Structures are given as structure tokens and as C-alpha cells.
Amino acid sequence: MAKKERITYESALDALVAVAKQLSIYEERNKVTSEDFFHRFSNGLTDDSVEFVEWANAYQNFIALRSTLEKQISNAA
């Protein structure tokens, strides 16, 4: 199994953009939105392939990053 590389970003916004790009690749390849995929995955309606686990993790990271940025924006306003 290949070792995963850890990537560090300058900001949460940079990380969000990178994860969004990754999600768009999964969405295009599988012809489904990440939100719909994650709902199906979370309810056991997909298999547990490596790609699907990575996609689910990327979507969870996207949600967490978006939440972090929304809080930062709220606090700045």
C-alpha cells in the first residue's frame, strides 16, 4: 500500500479550495454530488472501496473547513 502524503496549506481557505477541487473530480467520475454520495455512503448504500472511503473523508474535511471559515467570517463581521 502506498504511503499517503500529508499536505499543509497556508490557510483554511487554501485547504477548502484544494478539497473542493478533489471533490469535483470524484463527482465528475461518479456522476453524483458529494452531498448525495455521502448520504448514501453514511447509510451503507455504497461499498467500502478505497475511493469511496477517501471521498467520504474528503467531504467531511470540506464540511469542517467550511464551518471553520464561516465562524471566522462571523467573528470578523
For 14-69, what is each residue's pLDDT tens digit?
999 999 999 999 999 999 999 999 999 999 999 999 999 999 999 999 999 999 99
Of 27, 29, 18, 31, the closest CA to residue 62 belongs to: 18
Where are the domains positioned within the chain? 12-76
What is the pLDDT, as a whole number, of residue 18? 96
Residue 33 · residue 27 · CB < 8 Å: yes
